[in-house]
Chain A
């Protein structure tokens, strides 16, 4: 009998540990980084780090929603590429096309996302394989559109504004990332869509029986993911200035690593955009540390893979412990 209260305590403690884990990791990592190089405590360096993280961070906000749904979106890297290319081509160096280019990029992203969502919701297929296939299709379309060379010029002002720093301190891209995170948190906690995503992810069958519009929410979630990937492409374009042909190559790994680090695992129904934001910061500090330590760039790929494996193993372990205790 005496075991009952303690198991209740554990059940209460573990889910909150789940949510806090990534923030604890973030603080510890930042302190360690500070020991390795005091640059990590300088405001300029830190804001620069977050600025670098903006394209991946913005895309990760969208992917968080499909992961909460037990889905996954591996097409974000290709969508980021497409968005950057479409935006640069539509802008064509003319100031008047600025907003048109931005709208076209975001719309293309949302359209690809919606296509993913429709195929997954109504085709009942593996999101993993489908979005991998979609990333090949999108990559091919981008290459067909560009003919394999960098095309298009950004409108004057686009780079200047987005790369500026407000008051000479706070980069505009950091604000863009924070706004994206704020929109994500609003969507997940203040809208019916957000709550439905959690319920469907936690138990799709129960959600369906309870009358939630599972298919519609799925399509919207993938469209949101594509939309944010489109915005991520814009952020990337602002940073580089030229569209290239495949600037988003491999970005899906960074995004996935960040989301999983943030506590939104492949099991769905747990985690959220706030954790994803912390996950992005942890990932970038870790990759920066690897750079400072003099590891070759290729080592970063290995580190990302290990982070994906270790973080999802750790979070599912916490989840198992928590649910195991409550069942007892």
Chain B
């Protein structure tokens, strides 16, 4: 369950990504004066909210040895749909929010159900679903549409006593996820499935139900992330979710959760999300050209999964 012995000193129990984060923050502090300002730090935290929620949702799926590539486009769909509905029904913010979250959870449930029924690899099914959802978005609109409700915008952009409101949301999601994944029977079963689906089935675990729940959580988190994006952009941008699924997977893997599942660390994922956020922020502050940033991000994807190699993990454990 736990990557390190409980008796080990605290600094050894810290997920490794935090050392990279500390190094990056130190480098940033020296290299870029604007980086040190409180408003910039609040900005980084605010911008990382979407990815944090999405990565935590992805962690449920990856912990069980599966993967969900459809979340990026699901974020886009919820962003577009919610903004369209917010504009059409200005007085019904709460029902629209509930409806969007319900739809996102339903798409996740559909993923899980299809994987169970068709006995398909989650990778292929969610890859196909990515294309299906993208088509749905562009059937709704091909340009930015609608307007986010003020309360949703406050959730993404607002500050309470200088602290971004989204931080409270992320903290709540993270605490729930920590207890569900690392401190509950459900989490134990999910990780057992990630370690060996075959043994888990023989031990009598209900793999179909675990799959359904994991994908439902992933979809629901994508829904929350979609609302956060809608609030941050203020409008429904159809390409808002492009590539987010990869960012989420990279955050999970960098956070010390192997792609093949069986182990998970919510705290590690939060560190990885911050690491990616700080890196993004620094690249912008240092005025690295946009196209170079794309190459850097692609390289990080490749480096992250190379670091995820089974041999390396065996050494670390």
Contacts and interface: CB of A to CB of B under 8 A. Distances in A.
A303 B135 CA distance: 8
B294 A130 contact: no
B297 interface: yes
Interface string B122-138: 01110111111111111
A125 B117 CA distance: 28
Given A140-B294, A316-B120, A123 B306 contact: yes
Interface string B104-128: 0000000000100011110111011
B309 A119 contact: no
Interface in B227-257: 243, 246, 249
B301 interface: yes
A52 B137 CA distance: 26
B298 A301 contact: no
Nearest to A300: B135
B125 A309 contact: yes
B299 interface: yes
Contacts of B142: 298
A126 B135 CA distance: 26
B316 interface: no
B131 A253 contact: yes
Nearest to B132: A305
Interface residues on B, range: 35 or more
A300 B134 CA distance: 10
B314 interface: no
Interface stretch (A85-93, A141-149, A155-163, A173-181): A141-149
Contact of B123 (A144, A266, A305): A266
A197 B133 CA distance: 34
Q: Which of B114, B133, B305 has the most CB of A within 10 A?
A: B305
A35 interface: no
B291 A119 contact: no
A140 B291 contact: yes
Contact of A308 (B124, B299, B310): B124
Nearest to A266: B124
A137 B134 CA distance: 22
A312 B289 contact: no
Contact of B298 (A137, A256, A299): A137
A312 B259 CA distance: 23
A206 interface: no
B309 A124 contact: yes
A31 interface: no
A5 interface: no
Given A134-B298, A309-B129, A302 B291 contact: no
Contacts of B125: 309
A300 B218 CA distance: 26
Interface string A7-48: 000000000000000000000000000000000000000000
A126 B301 CA distance: 11
A41 to B, nearest CB: 29
Contacts of A137: 294-295, 298-299, 302
A309 B134 contact: no
Contacts of B119: 316, 320
Q: Which of B121, B138, B291, B293 has the most CB of A within 10 A?
A: B291
B121 A305 contact: no
Given A138-B298, A301-B132, A316-B120, 19 more contacts: A128-B123, A132-B301, A133-B246, A137-B302, A139-B294, A139-B298, A140-B295, A143-B291, A144-B291, A144-B292, A298-B142, A301-B135, A302-B136, A304-B131, A305-B132, A305-B133, A305-B134, A309-B128, A313-B120
